[in-house]
Amino acid sequence: MELDEKIYLYLLFILPLVVLLFLLNMYWKRKKQKEFGDLDIIKKLSPEHSVFKPAFKLAVLLLALLGLIFGLVNPKIGTKMETVKREGIDIVFAMDVSKSMLAEDVAPNRLEKSKQVVSQIINQLGSDRIGIVAYAGSAFPVLPITTDYSVAKMFLQSMNTDIVSSRGTSLEEAIRLSATYFEEKSKTSKLLILISDGEDHSEGAQAAAEEANKLGMRIITIGIGTEKGGTIPLKINGVVQSYQRDRNDEVVITKLNQPGLELIAKETKGGYVSGNNTKQVVEYIKKTLDTIQKTEFESTQMADFQSQFQWFLGLAFVLLFLDLFLLEKKTSWVKKLNLFNEEK
């Protein structure tokens, strides 16, 4: 059994509070009765009043509240086990997080646009396994291969230009690290989706792509940025303080290097697509995935959990309805039994 909304368990603290209020009310009533006169006389004046009924009504109310609380918590019970076979491919997203990705020639900036693109691609996936690599002057493993898309999106949104300390951009390092994510002897199709503005300060990207091709990897490159380019704003608390400058104190203009990205994709019989139009990218990736052979890479036993909240809510409403008809007077047939020695 698992509990769907555990936070509602805190409402259980209401139960002892209700009991406390009940006891305080009984104490107050008894105190007031003593002020009016002798308790035995008062009892004789109200022979139909039951000592047991108030406690019984309290028990019914507590059970009703308990049912409502567990209805909100929604307990789930695994009723059966079934085999789930997953078919798909292994995909690694290599995200450029170099300073040039802060350029705002693509709104809101290249890095945020990259996140949007990757997030939308993930939304279109089915049973594929995915991993994430971040790179600048060196590459850094962000998320290993997984089928948990929600976790992948969480890591994706947390990425920034400070995640990799080395400056510059090395597409070679990104490709080589991404290759380690794939099992060399696995028959599962391997796809690397490399997102970048294409500015590369290394010289081995093409060679790394050739090696990736030998490993059976296919590379799709997504270019983020414009050929006109843009400056790199340096912000503090979201406010632009200055712009990135080179050694000659000239403002840096970073431009999209489309030919370089196309060349990398060509080495692995992959493809290039502009990332400035998210819808266009998603459609391109979707068409590409349809042409890639999918293999069965996982067979998992999963419990089919079913919600049980309706039983608890049903019991709670029945008890609350019953409580409406429970009076604090003695019930005639119970009175005859004299179970609580109320008659002398």
pLDDT of residue 333: 44
Residue with tokens 């002057």: 137
The alpha-carbon radius of gyration of the chain (Å, integer) is 34
In a domain, 249, yes or no: yes
280 and 332, same domain (yes or no): no
Rounded to the nearest 10 degrees, the angle between the axes of helix 110-124 and helix 149-158 is 180
Give the pLDDT confidence of 71-80 residue by residue, as tens digits: 888 887 765 5
CA dist 237 and 232 (Å) reads 16
pLDDT of residue 57: 83
146 and 206, same domain (yes or no): yes
Most confident range (mean pLDDT) of 239-248, 281-290, 296-305 is 281-290
pLDDT of residue 42: 55
User: Sorting pLDDT into bands at 50, 70 and 90, what band is 48?
Assistant: low
65 and 99, same domain (yes or no): no
pLDDT of residue 254: 92
Q: Is the pLDDT confidence value at 52 over 70?
A: no
Q: What is the mean pLDDT of residues 215-244?
A: 91
Give the pLDDT confidence of 203-220 residue by residue, as tens digits: 889 999 999 999 999 999
Domain that holds residue 65: 2-74+308-337
213 and 234, same domain (yes or no): yes
Nearest alpha-carbon partner for 94 in 34, 171, 9: 171
In a domain, 325, yes or no: yes
pLDDT of residue 145: 92
Q: What is the mean pLDDT of residues 112-124?
A: 95
58 and 206, same domain (yes or no): no
> Which CATH number characterizes residue 178's domain?
3.40.50.410
214 and 265, same domain (yes or no): yes
> Do 121 and 83 meet the contact criterion of CB atoms below 8 Å apart?
no
Give the pLDDT confidence of 147-159 residue by residue, as tens digits: 889 999 999 999 9
Of residues 83 and 101, which shows the higher confidence score? 101
93 and 35, same domain (yes or no): no
241 and 327, same domain (yes or no): no
pLDDT of residue 47: 55
Q: 333 to each of 49, 330, 339, how far by Cα in Å?
A: 14, 9, 10
Task: Kindly report the number of other CB atoms within 10 A of residue 100's CB atom.
Answer: 28
107 and 172, same domain (yes or no): yes
pLDDT of residue 2: 67
Give the pLDDT confidence of 288-322 residue by residue, as tens digits: 999 998 888 665 555 566 778 888 888 888 888 88
pLDDT of residue 267: 93
Q: What is the mean pLDDT of residues 101-123?
A: 95
List the single range of 30-39, 93-102, 283-292, 308-317 with lowest mean pLDDT. 30-39
Q: Which amino acid is at 97?
A: V
264 and 121, same domain (yes or no): yes
Split into its structural domains, the chain has a count of 2
